[in-house]
């Protein structure tokens, strides 16, 4: 009898967990498990206003999509640190935006980057520089895949319940 009650208990836990997951997905809540931004629950909002520096965005970059028409999951949540017209300087000390060095922005030798050191350019219209603001040193961000076109940004991400853990 006790074994049968335990089986039912786990069935109820499984069903309840599945129901909660479905509600989260339908209502635009997502769980971020990447340490490059705060781990926890985020709400995705549609983009009504121009994207600005400091916004957290959910993006679907071509490097994580299987093909052009594939849905994008998981997507990346990053912080916008560079906006159109900003000057980007990449050197051995890290990334500078408008001559201000980003904290822990060195390109790691063991990671593949599309940039070689001592690169300078201006972000064109509709392009943004994104950065992992929680654990920047190990974040997969624009240092490795370049500026992000606004078409790749699918939503503004708002933290609901998150755990900040900066390394």
Report mean pLDDT in 10-residue bins for the chain, 167 residues.
Answer: 60 81 73 79 85 91 53 78 95 92 84 75 95 81 88 89 70
Q: How many domains does the chain have?
A: 1
- pLDDT (tens digit per residue) in 19-59: 777 776 677 877 777 777 888 888 888 888 789 999 999 98
For 76-90, the DSSP string reads EEEEEEE-TT-EEEE
Give the domain range for residue 54: 2-163
pTM of the predicted model, to two decimals?
A: 0.78
Pairing of strands 87-91, 119-122: antiparallel
**Bridge partners, residue 155, by sequence:** 58
């Amino acid at each position: 009898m006790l074994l049968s009650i335990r089986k039912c208990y786990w069935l109820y836990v499984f069903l309840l967990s599945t129901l909660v997951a479905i509600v989260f997905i339908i209502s635009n809540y997502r769980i971020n498990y990447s340490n490059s931004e705060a781990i926890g629950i985020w709400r995705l909002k549609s983009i009504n206003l121009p994207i600005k520096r400091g916004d957290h965005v959910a993006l679907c970059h071509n490097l994580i999509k299987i093909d052009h028409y594939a849905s994008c999951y998981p997507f990346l949540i990053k912080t916008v640190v560079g906006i159109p017209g900003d000057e980007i300087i990449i050197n051995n000390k890290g990334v500078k935006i408008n001559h201000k060095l980003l904290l822990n922005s060195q390109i790691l030798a063991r990671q593949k980057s599309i940039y070689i050191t001592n690169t300078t350019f201006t972000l064109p219209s509709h392009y943004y520089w994104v950065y992992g603001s929680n654990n920047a040193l190990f974040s997969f961000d624009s240092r490795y895949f370049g500026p992000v076109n606004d078409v790749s940004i699918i939503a503004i991400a708002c933290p609901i319940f998150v755990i900040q853990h900066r390394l």
